Structure 1
Amino acid sequence: MKIYVFGTRGFPNIQGGVEKHCEELYTSMSDTYEITVFRRKPFVKSNTTYKKIHFIDLPTVKTKGLEAFLHSFLCVLYCIIKRPDITHVHNIGPGLFIPLLKMVGLKVVLTYHSPNYEHSKWSYLAKKGLKICEFIATKGADKIIFVNKIQLQKFNPVIQAKSVHIPNGIKKKKEIKDNSFIKSLGLSPFQYILSVGRITPEKGFDYLIKAYNLIKNKSIKLVIAGGCDHSSAYAKQLIHEADKSQVILTNYMNEEQLNHLYTYARLFVLPSFNEGYPIVLIEAINYQKPILASNIEANKSIGLAKEQYFEVGSVNDLKNKIENEINKEYTDIIYNINIPTWKEIANLVTNIYSQAAN
């Protein structure tokens, strides 16, 4: 069975939750299917094959609003010509083109990662456009995978009937015993707060920095591991505030580097305003880190203890919660949260492909 995939910038070593999802999922399936992933040329840093996965790199522009639209349209034309057994589309924006795939008789699976129209970076018209994309994509797809169960439950019975909840997963935690990498960043083991994600407004790093500036214990550093999505006034301002506050912005970190950062973090904080099913949060759980997360729906669906959540956007609440955590003696936390492995998730997606193909 031939599977074609678009709606992601690609992988490996390309930042993003959807990119991480696709890398872990498809590398867990590449022994079963012939998988081709369409990547966006401006972000590509590697060869055209990776762990039995074939890549097709198509052009696009690094312009907010046009990047995904242009690339997805080119992907659809390619799929129409090559006619794979399954076309797997990630995200509701690229899902706009699903009717074109259906018109020529192709089978389509959609993965709904998050309601992108809730992101503050989009204009009013862009948000309305994404809502239209959501309607078209969910109506047109043969099967839909929701990474967040709560999001699935918001849809009507017709959509729910062809949908399934399959969350993001984890893989075995890598044991790190060498702390030379974090020392190269000017850090000491268990003496820093870690947050991970793209430098975009919906991630809430601006108010995390404000909360950090208010804490009294300055021996604890703040590390934000993530690169800038697009050049923007927000990113420039955040970089300025981080520099002024002596916050460490690492830019993009690969998997190995993140393993080191998670291992030696004193506390993990996720201050997001919007998430789908946050991979960085379940990775922090996998590394048994003390965690604080904003009380948005997606984060609460993970099932942390009540005291581990703070009011989203509240500088004071976050500051108080951080101080409470770093004043405790550090200890790993054993979480009673069932998170499937990527291999288990791959098996579930395999079942979806079989259903869609029939």
Structure 2
Amino acid sequence: MKVCVFGTRGFPGIQGGVEKHCEYLYPNMPSDIKFDVCRRKSFVTDNTTYPNITFTDIKNTSKRGFEAAFHSFASAIHAIKTKPDVVHIHNIGPGMAAPLLKLFGKKVVLTYHSANYEHEKWSGPEKLILKFCEHIALKYSDKIIFVNRNQMGKYSAKIQAKSTYIPNGVNKPYKTDKTDFLDELGLESGKYILAVGRITPEKGFDTLIKAFNESDFYDSYKLVIAGGVEFEDSYKKQLDSLIGNDNVVFAGYVFGEKLAQLYTNARLYVISSYNEGFPLVMLEAMSYGLEILASDISATHLIALDKNSYFEKGNFTELAQKINETINTNCCKPSYDLSDYDWNKIALRTTEIYKQLLK
């Protein structure tokens, strides 16, 4: 079986939830399935090879708002030429290319990661375009995978009949004894709060910084935000304006050993998002046994936390109180049941989708 994949910037080592999803999923797929992953050339920095995966690196425009559309149609044309058995598209924006693929008789699987039009960073017209892309993607895809079962429940019986809920997964934690990256950032083990994610408005890092500023641990702890900035320079400047001392650390985009050091030694993990599909970073924090505070949105309830672990999204005063309560209580190192979020299981379920489509 040959499968062409697009809708991701690529992997390995490229920032983004969809990118991490693909990086963990496809190397775990059965070896008799051959994948052709279309990457956006300007993002590629790591040329690691995989036995069952080839990469097609396509030049992309850097113009915000056109990058995904340009890459999607270029990838669709590539798929038409190379004649795979299945085309697997990730997310609703790239799903706009589904009608073109169907015109040429291609079998199309769509993975719906998140309702992008809910993100604050998009303007009104851009949100309308994304909603139209969603309509087209859902209509013309043969099979749909939702990583968020609550999102799947919003659509018609016709859409749900060809849809399956398959959540994100998580790898086993890579716990490390090294602390050289912590030393580089001026961090002390157990004395910082961690958040991981791309620096975009929907992640709610402004709420987190305001809460940290109001907390009792403003001077004695540090807040570490691990994520890179791409197009949202103005939002990063907004975050910088909220910082009152040197105890807020932007670590940049990190992965591998450096990210493992941050997870292993954090006292508390906070997910302050306004919108999420299925927060992969929340699973990662759980795998490291971290206590978690999460904004009260549907995505953070996909794996239920204790009711005291939630705060109203955007409510930095409540979050500050939760931070105080959690850190003032002896760390309990919770244990989470993550057995349903094994990438091997998820790979097998995805394989079944392909097989159903080709029967």
TM-score by length of 1: 0.97
Does 1:118 pair with 2:118? yes
Q: Alignment identity in percent?
A: 50
Task: Give 2:309's aligned residue.
Answer: 308
Q: 1:206 to 1:51 in 2, by over 3 A?
A: farther
State the secondary structure of the residue aligned to 1:129: helix
* Amino acid in the other structure paired with 1:252: Y
Q: 1:230 to 1:51 in 2, by over 3 A?
A: farther
* Amino acid in the other structure paired with 1:60: N
Q: Separation in 1 of the partners of 2:101 and 2:7? A: 14
Q: Is the 8 A contact 2:95 2:133 kept in 1?
A: yes
- 1:242 CA displacement: 4.3
Does 1:280 pair with 2:294? no
Q: Is the 8 A contact 1:213 1:245 kept in 2?
A: no
Q: Is the 8 A contact 2:7 2:94 kept in 1?
A: yes
- 1:30 CA displacement: 5.7
Q: Is the 8 A contact 1:93 1:133 kept in 2?
A: yes
Task: String of CA shifts for 1:149-184, please: whole Å, max 9, x gaps.
Answer: 001111111010111000001122223122232222
Q: Separation in 1 of the partners of 2:340 and 2:212? A: 30
Does 1:145 pair with 2:145? yes
* Amino acid in the other structure paired with 2:345: E
1:180-219 paired onto structure 2 within 5 Å: 180-217=180-217, 218-219=219-220
Q: Separation in 2 of the partners of 1:54 and 1:30? A: 15
Q: Separation in 2 of the partners of 1:37 and 1:124? A: 32
State the secondary structure of the residue aligned to 1:3: strand
* Amino acid in the other structure paired with 2:27: T
Structure 2: segments with no counterpart, 5+ residues: none
Task: String of CA shifts for 1:18-59, please: whole Å, max 9, x gaps.
Answer: 000000000101623111111111111022734542111111
Structure 1 outlier segments of 4+, above 6 Å: none
Task: Give 1:343's aligned residue.
Answer: 344
Q: Separation in 2 of the partners of 1:25 and 1:283? A: 15
* Amino acid in the other structure paired with 2:189: P
1:207-356 paired onto structure 2 within 5 Å: 207-217=207-217, 218-242=219-243, 244=245, 246-336=247-337, 338-356=339-357
- 1:326 CA displacement: 1.1
Does 1:89 pair with 2:89? yes
* Amino acid in the other structure paired with 2:179: N
Task: Give 1:37's aligned residue.
Answer: 37
Q: Is the 8 A contact 1:195 1:225 kept in 2?
A: yes
Of residues 118-127 and 30-39 in structure 1, the stretch that sits farther from structure 2 once superposed is 30-39
Cα RMSD after superposing both structures: 1.4
Q: Separation in 1 of the partners of 2:112 and 2:297? A: 18
- 1:61 CA displacement: 1.9
* Amino acid in the other structure paired with 1:266: R
* Amino acid in the other structure paired with 2:274: F
Q: Separation in 2 of the partners of 1:52 and 1:46? A: 17
- 1:229 CA displacement: 2.5
* Amino acid in the other structure paired with 1:11: F
Task: String of CA shifts for 1:42-99, please: whole Å, max 9, x gaps.
Answer: 1110227345421111111223211101110100111111111110000000001100
Structure 1: segments with no counterpart, 5+ residues: none
